[in-house]
Amino acid sequence: MSDPGASELIVERPEAGVAVVLLNRPDATNALSLSLQARLSEAFTELSADASVRVIVLTGGEKVFAAGGDIKSMADAGAIDILQRHTERVWAPIERCPKPVIAAVCGYAFGGGNELAMHCDIVIAGESASFAQPEIRIGIMPGIGGTQRLVRAVGKFNAMRILLTGKPVTAREAQVMGLVSNVVADDQVLPEALAMARTIAAMPPLAAMQIKEVVLAGMDAPLDVALMLERKANQLLFASRDQKEGMQAFIEKRKPRYEGR
């Protein structure tokens, strides 16, 4: 992690089982430059493979989450230039991260920033946070899942309003729509995200990963197929040490000690 763009992204381990990934381009409102996207891809690849990490908190800090893509790098690009960037490959480690990811959103989550938040599993927003897909205002459209994830999160009519007007919605509006999990005071966003991460990190990690996998895989599957996936994943967990430990601890009225095995 010694590349020139390393300072654009900071990875910290504040406590056992929890990693914090901080977007660090404050002078550019955390715009998702190509180098920052590459660093995100690398960081999520590493964290996904690290057995000591059970939960990831993704944040842009106290002022802004991410105010979209780097427009300057796209203004003169052609169709083949954009195709050859293969953003689907760059963002794949985030999309496929097997561990729960919590977005801690303060300020703007616009364009690629909103798409990045939608890659997460839980979104905690500050009172002053806002969300938008403003691409239409500069002659393009979302290209990293903004149309598809948004409509799945908030429904066709809310998604169309956001996509076709480019106007932002407040954190409270986003929560009502289903885009945000929880809204808290601005200065409580990261503490709330860390508290939730701590709670999830104390859970059996195999169960957490299976829950995430089945929820995401089942969303677009027929109900009978999704229920089959759920049953199979539940059955699989009965082969884990954590299942035996969890149930025995419950019977013995003690705190369980989960190992991820």
**Average pLDDT for consecutive 10-residue bins of the chain (261 residues)?**
66 96 94 93 97 97 88 77 82 96 97 97 98 94 94 97 97 98 97 98 96 95 96 96 95 93 91
Residues 6+ apart with CB under 8 A from 24: 7, 8, 9, 10, 30, 61
Count CA atoms closer than 13 A to 24's CA, side-chain side: 13
pLDDT score recorded for residue 71: 73
Find residue 69's DSSP bridge partners: 32
Residue type at position 51? A
Whole-angstrom CA distances from 20 to 102, 133, 178, 205 are: 9, 25, 24, 17
Q: Evaluate whether 242 touches 206 at the Cβ level (below 8 Å).
A: yes
Residue type at position 88? E
Residues 6+ apart with CB under 8 A from 178: 153, 154, 155
DSSP run (H or E) holding 124: strand 122-126
- Looking at the chain, the domain(s) classified CATH 1.10.12.10 span 205-252
pLDDT score recorded for residue 98: 97
Rounded CA-CA distance 141/135 in Å is 5
Mapping DSSP to helix (H, G, I), strand (E, B) and coil, where does residue 193 land? helix
CATH for 205-252? 1.10.12.10
Q: At the topology level of CATH, where does 4-201 sit?
A: 2-enoyl-CoA Hydratase; Chain A, domain 1 (3.90.226)
pLDDT score recorded for residue 86: 82
Number of helical (H) and strand (E) elements in the chain, helices listed first:
12, 9
Q: What's the predicted TM-score (pTM) here? A: 0.92
Q: Which ranges of the chain would DSSP assign to H, the alpha helix? A: 34-49, 71-74, 79-85, 87-95, 112-118, 148-154, 156-165, 171-177, 189-201, 205-218, 223-237, 241-252
Q: Evaluate whether 9 touches 21 at the Cβ level (below 8 Å).
A: yes
Task: Estimate to the nearest angstrom the gap between the alpha carbon of 171 and the chain centroid.
Answer: 16
- Looking at the chain, the domain(s) classified CATH 3.90.226.10 span 4-201
pLDDT score recorded for residue 4: 46
pLDDT score recorded for residue 6: 59
